[in-house]
Amino acid sequence: MVICVSGGAGYIGSHMVKCLQENGLDAIVIDNLSNGHRSSVDETVPFYQGDVRDRIFLESVFSQHAIQAVIHFAADSLVGESVFEPIKYYQNNVVGALTLLDVMRQFEIKSLIFSSTAATYGEPVSIPILESDPTFPTSPYGESKLVVEKLLKWSDVAYGIKSVILRYFNVAGAHPSGLIGEDHQPETHLIPLILKVALKKAPAIKIYGDDYATPDGTCIRDYIHVMDLAQAHVLALLNLLKTHQSATYNLGNGEGFSVKEVIETARKVTQCPIETQVVARRSGDPSILLASSDKAIRELGWNPQYNRLETIIQSAWAFQQSHPDGFLD
C-alpha cells in the first residue's frame, strides 16, 4: 500500500513520513520545498519536487505509483501572516486542495486524510471545543481550511472520495531521534522562538498581548506532540480504509497553557532565564483554543504518548540544541 504525503518535507509532513515507516507503511512524498527541507525526508523515500497546484506534475507522480490514499499537508499555515496575505492563503490552500482532489478523482483514489486546524473554529463558543461546535474563523488561514472541508463534504457525495478531516491544535516537539524537528524560515511559532531565546539567538520572547480575558491575560493554547499527531493520522487512515466513512476529529491534549505558562515551563526544561517583552496583540489570534479529543480517543483508539508540556518542550529543545541553525537546506 503506497501513501502519498503532500508537503512531506515540511515540519508535520516529515514526522508523518517517519511515522508511516515506523508503522510499516510505504510513503512517497511530494513537496515544492517552499517551506520544507529535502534533508528532513529519508533518502529511501521516493521524493518528487513540485507543487500541488500543478496538475501535470500530480498526474505524472500519480501515474508512477499505485497510490491508495493521500495525506494532504501542503499548505501555508500561519494565522498572523494570513491576515495580511489572504490571496496567498486562498491560492495555495484552496486551489492546491482543489487540484489535488480533481487528480485524485481522475486516478480513482478514494481516500484522503486532510490536515485541518483549530483555526476553523475562531473564538470558541464553549471550552473544550467539540467537533460539532460552530466554525467562524477569525483568520483567512482558518477560513481557507474550512472552505476545503466543505469541498471534501461535497466530493464525498459526488465522487465517493472519503476523507478524514483532522483539526490540529498547537503542534510542537520533535522526533525522539532528534534527527528531525521544527525549522520554519522565518520562525513564528511560540515554542521554537522561546528556545531560540534560551540558545541566545534572540534577546527576548515577545508576548503578543497580555490583556486577553484569560487568568494571566495571555492566550491559551492546547499543545500536542508532533509524533502523537502523526500516530493519530495512521489510525485515522487505517480506520478510513476499513470503514470507508468520512469523519472529522480534533487533535489536541485537552489541557490549555497560557503563553506565560509555556515560557515558564521552557525555563524549567532549559534551565535558562528567557527574557520576555510584552507587545501588542497579533491579528487573528483567538484568546483560547482548547480541544476535546475524546472522539479520536474513543473512535480511533488514539493514545497520546508525549502529552506533557515538559516532554513536548524537551524534545523540541533536543532538536534545537543539535540543529542550532536548523536544517542546512
CB burial of 49-69 (b: ≥16 within 10 Å; e: otherwise) equals ebbbbbeebbeebbeeeebbb
DSSP 10: S
The reply on whether position 188 binds ligand UFG by CB under 6 A is: yes
10 or 162, CB closer to ligand UFG? 10
The reply on whether position 136 binds ligand UFG by CB under 6 A is: no
Shortest Cβ 223–ligand UFG spacing (Å): 9
Q: For this structure, is 141 an active site residue?
A: yes
Shortest Cβ 73–ligand UFG spacing (Å): 11
Rounded Cα distance, 195 and 199, in Å: 6
Rounded Cα distance, 100 and 115, in Å: 13
Binding mask 261-280 for ligand UFG (x = CB under 6 A): --------------------
Q: Which three cell numbers stand for residue 75?
A: 499548505
# of chain residues touching ligand UFG (CB under 6 A): 22
DSSP 122: B
Q: What SS3 class is residue 308?
A: coil
Alpha helices in the chain (DSSP H): 11-22, 55-62, 79-84, 86-89, 96-106, 140-159, 190-198, 226-243, 259-270, 294-300, 309-322
Instruction: Name 137's Cβ contacts closer than 8 Å, sequence gap at least 6.
Output: 119, 120, 121, 122, 143, 145, 146
Per-position DSSP letters for 142-189, written without gaps between them: HHHHHHHHHHHHHHHHHH--EEEEEEE-EEE---TTSSS----SS---
Query: Residue 260: which region, alpha, beta or left (left: phi > 0; alpha: psi -120 to 50)?
Result: alpha
CB closest to ligand UFG, residue no: 219
Kindly tell me which residue out of 16, 71, 79, 247 binds ligand UFG, with binding defined by CB under 6 A: 79
| Burial (Cβ within 10 Å: 0-12, 13-18, ≥19) of residue 126 | exposed
Kindly tell me which residue out of 32, 35, 40, 77 binds ligand UFG, with binding defined by CB under 6 A: 77
The reply on whether position 309 binds ligand UFG by CB under 6 A is: no
Binding mask 4-33 for ligand UFG (x = CB under 6 A): ------------------------------
The reply on whether position 232 binds ligand UFG by CB under 6 A is: no
The reply on whether position 189 binds ligand UFG by CB under 6 A is: yes
**Residues of span 208-227 touching ligand UFG by CB under 6 A:** 208, 219, 221
Shortest Cβ 144–ligand UFG spacing (Å): 11
Q: Which three cell numbers stand for residue 99?
A: 487540484
42 or 261, CB closer to ligand UFG? 261
**Which range binds ligand UFG by CB under 6 A, 54-62, 65-73, 151-159, 199-207?**
199-207
Q: Out of 121, 141, 168, 223, which one is annotated catalytic?
A: 141
Kindly tell me which residue out of 30, 71, 97, 118 binds ligand UFG, with binding defined by CB under 6 A: 118
The reply on whether position 119 binds ligand UFG by CB under 6 A is: yes
Which stretches of the chain bind ligand UFG, using CB under 6 A? 77-79, 117-119, 169-170, 188-190, 193, 205-208, 219, 221, 259, 282, 285, 289
Catalytic positions, written as ranges? 141
